[in-house]
């Protein structure tokens, strides 16, 4: 949520490596959020989700854009969520923040495309992580089973399942792909 912190990471990366080729915006507030009916979500929870999940990405993009412009290219990959396109109930703050990530991705792709900087997002289904366990709490096993049953590929998503898509988006193999949101969701 801090522009100064994001800028410091960008500056440290430039000092150590001399350039920034890619950025993956993967930090998100998820596990610590308390779900519930939309009109029962605490305003501080709403604000926290927006501050980390949207404003944090904005800060990180701002922190690297100048270096990428100077290099004449770059790739930014924002981690969105299937929640944004599916419309996950009882987590409107999270769902809305991830929908904002998709909008930010598309708008920024148009803005930075002239500088040969690509901006895309990946929208995974629920990834088997501690954050997902924390978010679903006692309903974790049932939630993962329900998610799995709604997919063409009948297993849950692990962090390793995202590596290929993210790596491709960062690589020159996707040099003409920008403004896209790729679902990694087992065919939901």
Q: What is the pLDDT of residues 67-101, one digit of tens each?
A: 999 999 999 999 999 999 988 888 899 999 999 99
Encode 20-33: b = buried (16+ Cβ within 10 Å), e = exposed. Answer: bbbbbbeebbbeeb
Q: Taking the CA of residue 23 as centre, how many other CA atoms within 13 Å lie in the half-sphere pointing to its CB?
A: 32
Residue 133 CA to residue 127 CA, distance in Å, equals: 9
Task: Say which of 30, 86, 90, 94 is annotated catalytic.
Answer: 94
- Spell out the alpha helix ranges (H) of 90-180: 92-112, 130-136, 140-149, 163-170
pLDDT of residue 97: 95
Residue 147 CA to residue 145 CA, distance in Å, equals: 5
pLDDT above 80 for 31: no
Whole-prediction pTM: 0.94
What 3-state class would DSSP assign to 181?
Answer: strand
Do residues 120 and 177 make contact, with C-beta atoms less than 8 angstroms apart?
A: yes
Q: Residues 166-171: what's their mean pLDDT?
A: 98
Structure tokens at 143: 């939630």
Highest mean pLDDT among 24-33, 124-133, 168-177: 168-177
Query: Active site includes 94?
Result: yes
Structure tokens at 164: 């290929």
């Amino acid at each position: 949520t801090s522009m100064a912190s994001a800028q410091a990471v960008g500056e440290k990366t430039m000092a150590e490596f001399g350039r920034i080729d890619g950025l993956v915006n993967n930090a998100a507030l998820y596990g610590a959020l308390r779900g519930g009916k939309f009109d029962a979500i605490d305003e501080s929870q709403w604000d926290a989700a927006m501050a980390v999940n949207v404003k944090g990405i904005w800060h990180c993009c701002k922190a690297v854009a100048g270096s990428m412009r100077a290099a004449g290219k770059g790739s930014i990959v924002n981690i969105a969520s299937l929640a944004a396109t599916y419309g996950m109930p009882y987590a409107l703050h999270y769902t809305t923040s991830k929908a904002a990530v998709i909008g930010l991705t598309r708008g920024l792709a148009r803005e930075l495309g002239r500088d040969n900087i690509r901006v895309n997002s990946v929208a995974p289904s629920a990834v088997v992580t501690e954050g997902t366990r924390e978010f679903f709490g006692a309903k974790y096993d049932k939630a993962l089973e329900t998610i799995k049953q709604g997919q063409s590929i009948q297993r849950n998503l692990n962090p390793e399942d995202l590596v290929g898509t993210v790596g491709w988006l960062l690589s020159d193999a996707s040099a003409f792909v920008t403004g896209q949101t790729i679902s990694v969701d087992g065919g939901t």
